[in-house]
Chain A
Amino acid sequence: MTNEKNTLVTDAKKHGSVLVVGGGISGIQSSLDLADAGFKVYILEESPAIGGVMAQLDKTFPTNDCSMCIMSPKLVDVGRHPNIELITYSELKEVAGKAGNFKVKILKKPRYVDGEKCTGCGICIENCPVLLQPQIPKKPKEAPSVRDQEYIDKLISKYSYQEGPLIQIMLEANEKYRYLPRDVMEYLSSKLDISLSTIYRVATFYKAFSLEPRGKYHIKVCLGTACHVRGARNIVDKVKDTIGDADEGFFSLETVNCLGACALGPIMVVNEKVYGHMTVDKVDEIIKPLEDE
């Protein structure tokens, strides 16, 4: 007890410097506060750059502020602060000593670049002859079968008159296959020079696209407000119940927001056939005969 008290009080043994482990937003903020208060601060960061998770975010909850707008001034402050020294791409190996007087061992990983002189311009990455940098290898794309290739080429030329034709092409392809097969998306990606991830994003954003084949009988139940107040929810439950034990690929159910035939609600559509004024009772009458086929 007395010893501890001594170490805290005796000025001679205090170093006046701080090691902050982790260069995320909290590490950065505490370093700045400490450095402003006059301490010498070392920031230890495992990855090659500070910033952490927040630097990867688009926005912050609940105010929806842009996270980089909050972060970047702080990053610059850290870099320019005379009291802060960055130790990046390094790991903490050992901590010894007591409060006020610690001794740490740090493993600094090799960068093969003089950190003092590097400005981060990126020219070396572009010109590296052996491509040792992180890069996604360009895989040869599996081409769809010849007939499909022709079909999609035709679609592409059909919409070539407009800029940004991706969605129109995908709509037609989706209608033909009843979903968007992966090879079609890959082929589109190579032909239109749009990354597969962008195409995937579009395919999952819009409701018209499906990544799984729809059933032989695709059932749509309208859940628009007019149908809802007339009890469409019960119809959905009933349909789910009825098609529950049918073979896979035979039925598929989708709920849609308003088919615009509100006078006839609740509405159910099987493939293209519209059934108006639906009741729970009618569901069996419509679906059972299809099942027996």
Chain B
Amino acid sequence: MKRLSNSKELEKLRKAIRDGRDPDKPIVTICGGTGCKASGCKHIIEAFKKEIIKQNLQEKVDIRITGCQGFCEKGPIVVIYPSKIFYPMVKAEDVSRIISETVVKNKVIKELLYVAPSSGERITYEDEIPFYKKQTRTIFGSNNHIDPKNVEDYIAIGGYSALAKVLTGMKPQDVIDEVKKSSLRGRGGGGFPTGQKWESSSKTKGKRKYVLCNADEGDPGAYMDRSILEGNSHSVIEGMIIGAFAIGSNHGYIYVRAEYPLAVEHFSVALDQARELGLLGKNILGSGFDFDIIVYQGGGAFVCGESSALLQSIEGKVGEPRAKHIHATERGLWGYPTVLNNVETWANIPLIINKGAKWYASIGTEKSKGTKIFSLVGKINNTGLVEVPMGMSIREIVFDIGGGIPNNKKFKAIQTGGPSGGCIPESLIDMPIDFDELTHAGSMMGSGGMIVMDEDTCMVDVAKYFVEFNLDESCGKCSSCREGNARMLEILEDICAGNGSENSIPLLEELCEYVKETSLCGLGKTAPNPVLTTLKYFKDEYIAHIQNKECPAKVCKALIFYEINSKDCIGCGICAKKCPVNAISGEKKKPHVIDKDICTKCGTCIAVCKVNAVRVKTGGKK
């Protein structure tokens, strides 16, 4: 590709790419995100390629392997453009039909269409599926039109036009003002106003300045940053260049988790392409502005998502947070002024520049503007990534977009903000979601993980899980976090084992306060949140564990026992055969019995029973 020496050449290239494309030419888009990869999209892609050659359609049909399209539950996903006919969970044997019927004759294959779980209706087009219909996919929507390894796709949809606009007609302060006016807040979790951050860094004098992208997405249950990087790296790169221009920086880093190999690969490819086009490196688009980005892989430590720990890690040290008397915007990486923003924040920047701060500020609530991508996971029908305007209620997200809870179970709580967040109960289901409302409820936005919990989820167990997570990930610098979490875990383990006492809850509350007040970084300060919110909203479950020695959700192993319902059991004997400890006995064709003394509650019998005769009961602590 030729190096672009000014913004006019970029527009020329864009026009050439658009003109070279026939809008009516069918494109088969196959989602190649990690979710669909795990569901086997590789075979599907190969099958499509083979089939197209077999039917001799190489000239007439394009294949585009995109990044994550969001609807991971139904992967592998295939969408046929321009008609937007949507096929979920495609199997290799369907491929030849899809090509010969839908692609060639534009005929819909009814039995392969998506079935709405609520109505049982078959839905043909992508935008009519309830999961997509209610979303506002300003950032994420472009993933569907982009092959992450092909920069032309990004340029064709208007990519790098924001950069050209900034470099040709705006001063750095104009950019900062525009971002400030948009009221964009950091998407990494804290929600700090981005414009303010940039301004304070641009005012600080330094020999060098750094622009960093935080892609150390460690929150369990959140994967939107990865999907942006995998699906549309260029939007992040463009945002970073604009940010660098605004604060006057020439050096950029992106800190990516080593667990995300595909994101690293796609981002590196995108960097190379941008360099080749002269969008990165020396004299970008002939403006005299230099900037480049280095990819830095993390070593797998949750705490490195914290800003000061991340800086330490890039410096090649152990990722321990330091006190923030002086902000990174003044003295950050290697002691120079540094701006660190989350992946999603960077991806928002080109939109704000292109469409204007006014447009951006018109979306969302009073203090939280724009859209937010959430990863809707857990006990939910439509698992996946959803992008909605700030202020949408939990009910709309869970029931309208998420399609409700599987098997008609009851909604119990939603956990947001990862291990730093909290559980929001059903009573607050109509709460609009934005930064301040969530904080008010005792949780936080975090990076946007939303884990749905139903009646089968034990809240004490959830609290225990998060404390365990925080204990594991605590860097150990502050004794209150290192020791406090350990003691909290001991108390919770006691409660789950049925050994809780009256003192357990007050002690837990006291410990939470200590850890919250005396830890240095965000990890420690927010570590007690899951315990505090579950105590606040689900105290009755704690009391059931402590006083009645019962686990209402039937999760805590010490408080439950397995039983075979003699009415339902058909005596097939498969459970007895599969039981690893031989705890099940019984004659053929007669109801079997579980010996509770031997049973280890491993769950094998439930998994293999065809008639659902194995029941879990609680209250049976010996």
Instruction: Using CB atoms, name the residue of chain A closest to B518.
Output: A64
List of A residues within 8 angstroms of B518 by Cβ? 62-64
Whether B604 lies near A171 (C-beta < 8 A) is no
0 or 1 for each of B434-462: is its CB under 8 Å from A? (1 = yes)? 00000000000000010101000100001
Q: Does B302 have its Cβ within 8 Å of any Cβ on chain A? A: yes
- Interface of chain A residues 242 through 271 with chain B (CB within 8 A): 256-265, 267
User: Which A residues are CB-close (under 8 A) to B473?
Assistant: 257
B316 and A264 within 8 A (CB): no
In the bound complex, how far is the Cα of B482 from the Cα of A62, in angstroms? 11
Q: Mark A169-194, 1 if CB is under 8 A from B, else 0.
A: 01100000000000000000000000
Instruction: Report yes or no: B602 in contact with A280, Cβ–Cβ below 8 A.
Output: yes
* Bound: A58/B479 CA distance, A: 10
Q: Which residues of A contact B258 (CB under 8 A)?
A: 171, 208
Which of A64, A161, A259, A281 has the largest number of chain B CB atoms within 10 A? A64
Q: Smallest CB-CB separation from B515: which chain A residue?
A: A62
B315 touches A164 (CB 8 A): yes
* A194 smallest CB distance to B (angstroms): 8
Q: Which of B70-119 contact A (CB under 8 A)?
A: 72-73, 75
Rounded to whole Å, the gap between the CB of B541 and the closest CB of chain A is: 15
B451 contacts A226, C-beta separation under 8 Å? yes
Are B479 and A61 in touch, CB under 8 angstroms? Answer: yes
Check: B180 CB closer than 8 A to any chain A CB: no
- The count of chain B contact residues (Cβ–Cβ below 8 Å) is 70
* Stretch from B11-19, B22-30, B219-227 forming part of the interface with A: B219-227
Q: If the complex has contacts A225-B418, A256-B259, A257-B218, are A262 and B580 also in contact, measured as CB distance less than 8 A?
A: no
CB <8 Å contact, A171 and B221: no
Give the residue name and chain of the B residue nearest to A203 (CB). Answer: B299
Residue of A nearest to B314 (CB): A164
Q: How far is B299's CA from A166's CA once the two chains are assembled, in angstroms? A: 11
Of A34-42, A44-52, A78-86, A228-236, which stretch is located at the interface?
A228-236
CB atoms of A59 and B479 under 8 A apart? yes
Q: Which residues on A sit within 8 Å (CB–CB) of B314? A: 164
Closest residue on chain A to residue B219 by CB atoms: A258
In contact, B315 and A168 (Cβ under 8 angstroms): no
Contact A280 B483 (CB under 8 A): no
B399 at the A interface (CB under 8 A): no
Contacts A61-B480, A164-B314, A263-B383 hold; do A171 and B220 have CB atoms under 8 A apart? Answer: no
Which chain B residues (453-508) contact chain A, with CB distance < 8 Å? Answer: 453, 457, 462, 465-466, 469, 472-473, 475, 477-480, 483
With a cutoff of 8 Å between Cβ atoms, the chain B residues found around residue A165 in the complex are 316
Are B38 and A276 in touch, CB under 8 angstroms? Answer: yes
Decide yes or no whether A224 CB sits under 8 A from chain B: yes
Instruction: Decide yes or no whether A274 CB sits under 8 A from chain B.
Output: yes
Q: Kindly name the residue among B73, B378, B415 whose own CB sees the greatest number of chain A CB atoms within 10 A.
A: B378
Query: For residue B453, which residues in chain A have a CB less than 8 angstroms away from its CB?
Result: 229
CB under 8 Å from chain B, chain A span 186-231 = 198, 201-202, 205-209, 223-231
A234/B603 in contact, CB under 8 A: yes
B359 at the interface (CB under 8 A from A): no
A162 located at the interface, meaning its Cβ lies under 8 Å from any Cβ of chain B in the complex: yes
Evaluate whether A64 and B602 lie within 8 angstroms (CB atoms) in the complex, with A261-B34, A261-B38 already known: no
CA of A59 to CA of B524, assembled, Å: 15
How many A-B pairs have beta carbons closer than 8 Å: the answer is 166
B368 smallest CB distance to A (angstroms):
23
User: Does A17 make an interface contact (CB < 8 A)?
Assistant: no
B296 part of interface (Cβ distance < 8 Å): yes
**Is B57 among interface residues, defined by CB-CB distance under 8 A?**
no
* A167 lies within 8 A of chain B by Cβ: yes
CB contacts (< 8 Å) of A274 on chain B: these are: 37-38
Nearest residue, chain A, Cβ from B458: A229
Residues of B within 8 Å of A262, CB to CB, are 35, 72, 221, 223, 375, 377-378, 383
Q: Determine if B603 and A280 form an interchain contact, defined as CB atoms under 8 angstroms apart.
A: yes
Q: Does A114 contact B (CB under 8 A)?
A: no
Residue in chain B with minimal CB distance to A265: B377
Contact (Cβ within 8 A) B294 A162: yes
Q: Please, which residue of chain A has its CB at the minimum distance from the CB of B608?
A: A281
Is B428 close to A, CB under 8 A? no
Residues of B within 8 A of A168 (CB): 296-297
Contact indicator B604/A258 (Cβ below 8 Å): no
A9 to B313, CA, bound (A): 66
A64 CA to B480 CA, complexed, in Å: 7
Query: Provided the pairs A59-B478, A62-B480, A258-B218 are in contact, do residues A263 and B377 lie with their beta carbons within 8 angstroms?
Result: yes
Most chain B CB within a 10 A radius of its CB, from A206, A263, A279? A263
Q: Tell me whether B384 is interfacial, beta carbon within 8 Å.
A: yes
Give, as a whole number of angstroms, the nearest-CB distance from A173 to chain B: 12
Query: Are A261 and B299 interface neighbours, CB within 8 A?
Result: no
> How many Å lie between the Cα of A166 and that of B319 in the bound state?
13
- Contact yes or no, A259 B475, CB < 8 A: no
Chain B residues, CB < 8 A from A11: none
29 contacts between A and B (CB under 8 A): A61-B479, A62-B480, A162-B294, A165-B316, A166-B316, A167-B298, A167-B313, A202-B317, A202-B318, A205-B318, A206-B298, A208-B258, A209-B299, A225-B377, A225-B378, A225-B465, A226-B220, A226-B378, A230-B378, A238-B604, A258-B218, A261-B35, A262-B223, A263-B384, A274-B37, A274-B38, A281-B578, A281-B604, A281-B608
Please provide the 5 A-B residue pairs with the shortest distance between their CB atoms, ordered closest to farther.
Answer: A206-B299, A164-B316, A224-B220, A263-B72, A207-B300
A205-B319, A262-B375, A280-B602 are known contacts; what are 11 more A-B pairs with Cβ within 8 Å?
A161-B294, A167-B296, A167-B299, A225-B418, A229-B379, A230-B378, A241-B602, A257-B220, A258-B220, A262-B221, A263-B73
Q: Which residues of B contact A (CB under 8 A)?
A: 34-35, 37-39, 72-73, 75, 217-223, 226, 258-260, 294, 296-302, 313-319, 334, 375, 377-379, 383-384, 415, 418, 449, 451, 453, 457, 462, 465-466, 469, 472-473, 475, 477-480, 483, 514, 518-520, 578, 580, 602-604, 607-608
